[in-house]
Structure 1
């Protein structure tokens, strides 16, 4: 007999209010609007809770000569101090590789590095006391430049190389050769809710941690290790985050560990919440990169060879830099076939805070260099950049990536062609060219850029998830899974999967906080895999319970299992006879049928041989394309985004409204990374862009007045949850169209003969500098 668990979801006939494919609000939307959504800082604190503040380094590099905390200990309200000597267990909390000391008492490796922790009866008292620390440093000059670090072989991890064909020979024989280098800036996460943890000690060494983290299981592991306790004594609870974007994948753990250590030392609950300035100084950013290309192409602009080098600035420790540079290398082709490729990636160390995950996880930095190449080829040949892009798209017999994974290219080609037509690209290109010819100062630019983004963790063991499902005797359902909700709507989508699988209304399902004592050994909510992994795990749990209920009802009614159908809160065994879901559950309970189940899923088909640099690191690719139009003032470098048209592939959407919201938000965040968000360190290694006053994220006024977003709904060919596709990260890279459009507008000043240098972020100052450099190049020629 075939079990329900073996039935593909696409053949199920269940219907319910709020099921898969319907537009329903975010599960916490009402609470968000009303201000009743509870975050870590809103949790009612136990009596006697202490408040902690971090004493951080005031230099970026050197050694501590002496540390005097007597004034801190004597300050009003201070209860306890914590230094490295107070740590009973591990002192290095590197998430993958060692290199992240929880506190330091000797070497200083970046400005703001935690040295000690002070706990007091109020947050204000703790912060004021922290300022009284007397620290004498032996300061050294910090090394901040990635290229210098590479020249000196200051590597966090070994370099890696991917090759396809014979790049050197093909490059030498290519009739056209071009080369370029560009700086790619980093990005501050600037989540609305900062880093915060509350540690509550229990009996016999137990510790309960409330934390704003994308990876509760990692927090559990690291807290247990610094406390020198087994993992089962630490429970991590995470209901929701006020934004994460990768900044809370690994870098929420240090603050949880410090709070737990202080709680264990004092026997009292401890809350540690970083002030915004400390948060920006003490936590890592999107990796800045330096990218280079040397390409060869034919007279039609088709690539023949691509020699690409990406240099990721990891800061002082490995953190996730190894995987991030890998993903930059995996995406250095973006949507284009490189018949002969040599791609090298370096992970360099500098004396800054350790950079970390950020939406796209290295993919955006890798894509930029090949998109620059597309524009450069077009200017060299006097072609429109879209023509060059289309000639180089993955296609039949041109579908192998530099890491030897085949690409399903038909969707990508259809998507680009459809957007080209729906956005009236060619009519607008003609109109813009004419407009530019008649405008001496203001210039417009237009660009269509595609995105091909691999979906899966590149670290293979992370591609797994679990879920826990309870059905109560009134028919209500409690759902728990290993993913975390950071505003992206993951809980809503996973609940919709369960609602569709069991044929019940969404309102019957309650999702509880992600907890390590409910679903253990979870992967981080990252890599755009939240719905793919946790949706499948939850579906498996629901199918298990559905099978039990179906078997019970089939036996009770003496009907074949194939006749059982779950739909509209009813369970049917023919077209005219049914029982309510709640009644069936009650009957099953009385018959001693288990109404609780776990679910588990691991991503199939993925593998990667690092020694050969070959494999299938991604289960599938998410694709999209964007057309952006800008206008610049050639006298000041100021600009505005006038219109953006997006067509994005989400497979069969689990929730169209949430998916469109993710696309819109991802695009605007990517636009900020590429245009206004500038990280600035001074020569002493101090971060100057350390507050919202000195760091500019996009405002609502930066949204284009014409902003068209459509879903390219075509079922995912792979067996993902209801054949959907991931949507969290890929839309960020659609913003490359804005940067490319700025270059297009600048190039119009040379009648499109010169392809300008424009590093990111392309601030008005950089745009103006690019204009001046272009004018000088014209004069020289």
Structure 2
């Protein structure tokens, strides 16, 4: 097969919009003009019905009886279904069983669907669903991680990764600290809520328009609940109005409900969740309870570590096994843990089943080691940056606690460069002096790294397919298994294909993701969209190019080594043939102008029994330096400046990547500071809309935000044009904001105390940390 020169720069005289250049998002003008079509914008099919479900009002209970007569009698209602009406599978768990499309006998969270309604209007369906009379027998409910740990209640078995003898290392270390933290969850709060439109086909199947990151899973589960072969169901995704992991598994339940209703009514059904129902009914980022026990020498070098991460998984496994695994993989973040143990618990609670969210457990795992870095610095009276730099992975100290070697060492370069460009040392001195003279307002500064593994931790998901067609006028259409949720995947794949043929980007069009074009696709998740689908598209291009070169060599009597593609032309020795002329000629000579492509990520493996392996193809890296100012009388604060330096390898589209970095950072900042999920003691979510759940606004963004890409850092692995993933890693850059808040609070005690600060670090929690610091200071004075 003819291999493309993936590591060569773009020629000086080349086609427009190739990979490596900043090109606007392919739907940008549609977004700003309102012409981008989402599920709720699609033309309504004739006889369309609308779906809703009745929810459980108990966190854990047995259903004794369910009177649905008033529901059926409500004007406009055309069908009401319960679990007994499901013709196929009732359980739609994405990996492990436990998720019922409709509750059968037991309910396990408030908001769990009990029955489904189809009516002639959205309003009628929702109003009818509220009329059910359900009699429950309440059962004991577990709501918090601590309760689950106490009762040893888990959705999946706990897991341990260990290297060396951490207990002995801890006992022999000159210094030893213990700490704990609660890391809050996060609502996805996508602009487009969960929605789907299902239409019965003429042959008894279903066509599903879905807002899903995983259309193949939607296809499979819809087929299973209906008792159909998978080929009778097609799923399509043109775009989502945001996903962030919330539409990896959660969209399938809606499609299944709508398909069940469409199946009995023989009419198309739309199912769209209101924002409160969406927040109550669908999963979120796992909140975690983490602990550490760390031993270190007098310089701050870690000698032993015992770390525990425990995620609130909710009532069912969903993706929690892999999410807690990734938290364990990232409990080291960017630091070498020599003798180390990491234990992960998957805690079952009677709350909505939590699910994927940008970072997939990695951010929660990183938080505990970053707290430890700050705590070690406070204990030794050192600058936290010095402790972080001392413990970074580096040659000779480059094997993780699960056995993977860090092969590309850019962390020290990233940290050192950002330390210089952000004027860290000068600002640190100025902030220390400011805090000594300012009794109320305190400033804080932190520079933190990110090392994030790229690949699905479930090995079989690391595969992708693509389909490339060249038409006789030279235009090209691409279809692949990745989905577009605003992140710019489609434009990047188009640039990759344009680069393969060296034609203008305008010649390439990426069409809606459909399960009957590219089958058995993996979810667009794990930051792998460009890596997987870009390589699959390149594979298809290489197959086409192989045939075109063979044809050209014979037709024009030119040696294959003298045939090249450049600037919308095919160079045949000394002859330049326009691209469209060449393609027309190839067609007339019956040369194939289309091909499928496939890619499977190499090298990866992991053995959960031993807790060792290489779960990631490579690591993406970044660093952020954030400065905050805190009002110690109220706990209110502002992020005044953030500097970011991020490694994306050889960028496919620098401006798209910078946009992802900015957005990821702000979303991470929201997770750690303002976005608070509040549950009642009974397990009811109390924050179900923007009035009670605060995502970052424009005014919350740092007024001084500086983002740069690390130059000259191509991926050593053979990824698409040696780029690196950029979807998830930037979210964890926001840890610098949380660390800076702790730094500002620590200044109250002249940086001698380790203030407790769980997340989200709301003004109330910051004020609590200030109060705890002041009390510690008073105690120190009294004992002195």
- The TM-score by the shorter chain falls in which range? over 0.9
Once the two structures are superposed, residues 322-349 of structure 1 have per-residue CA deviations (whole angstroms, 9 ceiling, x without a partner) of 0000000000000000110011000010
Match of 1:681? 679
Per-residue deviation, 1:176? 0.1
In the aligned structure 2, how far is the partner of 1:270 from the partner of 1:107?
A: 27
Partner of 2:403: 404
**How far apart are residue 15 of structure 1 and its match?**
2.8
Pair 1:774–1:447, CA change in 2 (3 A)? same
Query: Given that residues 419 and 647 in structure 1 are in contact (C-alpha distance below 8 angstroms), is that contact kept between their aligned partners in structure 2?
Result: yes
- Name the SS for the 1:16 alignment partner: coil
Equivalent runs, 1:110-509 vs 2, <5 Å: 110-408=109-407, 410-509=409-508
Instruction: Indicate conservation of the 8 Å contact 1:541/1:598, yes or no.
Output: yes
Aligned-pair distance for 1:11?
Answer: 7.4
Distance 2:655 2:517 in 1: 30
- The C-alpha deviation readout for 1:484-539, integer Å capped at 9, x for no partner, is 00000000101000000001111111111100000000000000000000000001
Q: Which residue of 2 aligns with 1:578?
A: 576
Q: Indicate if the aligned counterparts of 1:176 and 1:296 stay in contact, CA closer than 8 A.
A: yes
Aligned to 1:610: 608
- CA displacement, residues 128-183 of structure 1 (integer Å, 9 cap, x when unaligned): 11121111222345211112211211011111111111111111000100000100
How far apart in 2 are the matches of 1:668 and 1:87?
42
Consecutive unaligned residues in structure 1, runs of 5 or more? none
Rounded to whole Å, the distance in 1 between the matches of 2:440 and 2:724 is 44
The secondary structure found in structure 1 opposite 2:410 is helix
Question: What residue number does 1:655 align with?
Answer: 653
Could you list the structure 1 runs, at least 4 aligned residues long, displaced by more than 4 angstroms after superposition. 6-9, 11-14
- Cα-to-partner distance string for 1:577-622 (whole Å, 9 max, x where unaligned): 2111111111111111111100000111111111111111000000
Task: Find the aligned partners of 2:398 and 2:620 in 1 and give their Cα distance.
Answer: 15
Shift of 1:64: 1.6
| CA contact 2:160–2:343 (8 Å) conserved in 1 | yes
- Residue aligning to 2:525: 526
CA distance in 1, matches of 2:398, 2:582: 51
- Alignment RMSD (CA, Å): 1.1
Q: Partners of 2:408 and 2:515 in 1: how far apart?
A: 40
Contact 1:455 1:726 in 2 (8 A): yes
For 1:634, the equivalent position in structure 2 comes to: 632
The alpha-carbon deviation at position 673 of structure 1 amounts to 0.2
Alignment partner, residue 752 of structure 1: 751
Q: Is contact 1:549-1:584 (8 Å) kept?
A: no
Displacement of 1:230 after TM fit? 0.5
Shift of 1:408: 2.8
Structure 2: tracts of 5 or more residues without a match: none
TM-superposition CA deviations, 1:210-250 (whole Å, max 9, x none): 00000000011100100000000000010000000000000
Task: Confirm or deny: 8 A CA contact 1:395 1:409 kept in the other structure.
Answer: no
1:625 aligned residue: 623
Secondary structure of the residue aligned to 1:203 is coil
**Counterpart residue number, 1:706:** 704
Alpha-carbon offset, residue 10 of structure 1: 3.1
Report the Cα distance in structure 2 between the residues aligned to 1:633 and 1:254, rounded to whole angstroms: 45
Q: Is the Cα contact below 8 Å between 1:396 and 1:409 reproduced in 2?
A: no
Q: Secondary structure at the match of 1:691?
A: coil
Q: Deviations over 1:258-292 (max 9, x none)?
A: 00111111110000001111000000110000000
Given the two structures, how large is their TM-score scaled by the length of structure 2? 0.98
* CA–CA distance in structure 2, aligned partners of residues 689 and 773 of structure 1: 27
> Alpha-carbon deviation of 1:21?
0.4
- CA shift for structure 1 position 409: 5.3
Report if aligned partners of 1:15, 1:500 keep a CA contact under 8 Å in 2.
no
**1:5–1:543 Cα contact (<8 Å) kept:** yes
Separation in 1 of the partners of 2:689 and 2:141?
22
CA distance 1:105–1:616, change in 2 (3 Å): closer
Q: Judge conservation of contact 2:6–2:720 (CA < 8 Å) in 1.
A: no
Instruction: Give the Cα separation in 1 of the matches to 2:65 and 2:592.
Output: 63
Question: Take 2:373 and 2:347, find their aligned partners in 1: how far apart are those partners?
Answer: 27
Q: Contact 1:164/1:342 (CA < 8 Å) preserved in 2?
A: yes
Number of positions where the alignment pairs a residue of Structure 1 with one of Structure 2: 778
Alignment deviations for residues 683-740 of structure 1 (CA, whole Å, 9 cap, x no partner): 1211100111110000000110110000003111111100000000000000000000
Structure 1 residue 45 displacement after superposition: 2.1
Asked whether the equivalents of residues 206 and 233 of structure 1 are also in contact (C-alpha less than 8 Å), the reply is yes
1:741 and 2:732 aligned: no
Cα drift, residue 58 of structure 1: 1.6
